[in-house]
Structure 1
Amino acid sequence: MKDKHTDRIPNQPTDEDPIEEEEEEKNLFEKTNDQNQQIDAIQKNTTERLTSFPITEIPPEKPVDIKNQDNIEQKDLKFLNKEQIEKTLSILKIRFDEHPKRHKGVEWEKVKKTLEKNRKALWSIFQMEKEGHEPDIYSADKEGFDIGTCCQELSERNRNIVYDAEAEKICSKETNGNAADITRSMGIDIITEEQYKKLQKTGKYDRETCTWLKTPDKIKKTNAALAGFRYLIVQIGKREASNPNIKVGVRGTLRVLWNYSPIKFRGIKKEE
């Protein structure tokens, strides 16, 4: 009896059958072998990265005081001229428009007016731009917004650094400085774990690099510091604070209040 869909009799061997079966088995073997190699590579990469950044239980930090914007000494503050202000705002607006996912519901005109009143914040943003941080707003609420390092991967000049000055003192390797002093010099802060997670919700950052995170003193006393990166998911762990790495660097962040009012220096009244 013949098969309805072919001219062949079912189960009747032909000269083509062994070749077809052999070819199918060969293709299946090659496909399976490729998949196994990919899985092995992913597992190896995951093991290596998680060994460098072990996941640990980190106690929650105290909430950041958003009213404190004195991140830089007034005597060290240099204000921008009109041309620098216009250039800084122009570049910031371009990036703001290109990445709407980072700041849903935030209006540029409101941001612009706020920054025009806050010369200290503008100076810090200018420094971040100059140092390759690609600053942008990544979080906002009714009291203010956070603007920080938003490049997908950290630039080379912002990597190969240790956590802070204490770590740099005991470091025996050549570095590009330390995260605490670098951010302080720009009038900004090291990004916190909470802020880092907010940033990661707006895109995929640090798939090839790793970022130092604001670390409690309790952990720093052990010559360790928090660090974050993304591999499949966002990972937070601890690294040796005094051990630089060409992949490890810093992301800065600045809190700007909507109702910021500059304090005007009125001078000291002379005694009569």
Structure 2
Amino acid sequence: MTQNKINSKRELSAEQHEELLITLKVRFEENMNRHKGLEWTKVQAKLKDNTEKLWSLNEMERTGGEPDVVEHDQQTDEYIFYDCSVESPKGRRSVCYDREALESRKKHKPENSAMDMATAMGIELLTEEQYRALQKLDDFDMKTSTWVQTPSNIRELGGALFCDRRYDHVFLYHNGSESYYGARGFRGLLRV
């Protein structure tokens, strides 16, 4: 199975389940600056009750996203995981923005689109605001870039938005939605 293919079986084996929980716990403990005041035991309890969400987290991990908790939504009592890999997740690069963009390409089509992959993984693309919030936690995408959710009025005109960090600043750019580059992927979020 190639990195861009998504596992259609939405469950983990007991071994995968335990391995993922260990990975997430270690990452959580090593990066307390991302989730001050949160306790791993409460996050883990939520994860154990949500096997499909665990599967999505595993897809985030498998494709290089290194998911970690960045927020707790007190109103919904959900923990929010973002892809926290230093660069845009390796297994999610070289994709155009969405299905319409993919189908519009006449030559050299990429394997997939960011929106299709995110949907198949059960996650959402970050918005510009969420991307900027992530960048306040650390420096991400110093060499790569990341597609972000694009407002419908921009998308209807054929454009799509992406962000990166250069010169100690977070930039928002536009490109044709059908474009794709080896250094551009997407980051997602998952609510558990």
* 1:150 corresponds to: 84
Shift of 1:120: 1.5
Q: Indicate the structure (1 or 2) with the bigger Cα radius of gyration.
A: 1
The letter for the 1-side match of 2:10 is K
* 1:243 corresponds to: 179
* 1:255 corresponds to: 191
Q: How does 1:22-41 map to 2 (within 5 A)?
A: none
Q: Secondary structure at the match of 2:42?
A: helix
Q: Does 1:82 align with 2:14?
A: yes
Q: Does 1:227 align with 2:162?
A: yes
* 1:263 corresponds to: none
Unmatched 5+ stretches in structure 1: 1-75, 257-272
Distance in 1 (alpha carbons) for counterparts of 2:91 and 2:21:
23
Q: Secondary structure at the match of 1:160?
A: coil
Structure with greater strand share of residues = 2
Asked if structure 2 preserves the Cα contact closer than 8 Å seen for 1:158 and 1:176, the reply is no
* 2:37 corresponds to: 105
Shift of 1:255: 1.4
* 1:128 corresponds to: 60
Percent sequence identity is 37
Distance in 1 (alpha carbons) for counterparts of 2:79 and 2:174:
28
Shift of 1:247: 1.6
Distance in 1 (alpha carbons) for counterparts of 2:183 and 2:11:
33
**Runs (4+) off by over 6 Å:** none
Distance 1:77 1:102, change over 3 A: same
Q: How does 1:179-218 map to 2 (within 5 A)?
A: 179-218=114-153
Q: Does 1:139 align with 2:71?
A: yes
Query: Higher relative CO (CA 8 A, sep ≥ 6), structure 1 or 2?
Result: 2
Distance in 1 (alpha carbons) for counterparts of 2:145 and 2:139:
12
Give RMSD over aligned pairs.
1.5
Distance in 1 (alpha carbons) for counterparts of 2:131 and 2:72:
14
Distance 1:195 1:77, change over 3 A: farther
Unmatched 5+ stretches in structure 2: 1-7
Distance in 2 (alpha carbons) for counterparts of 1:141 and 1:169:
37
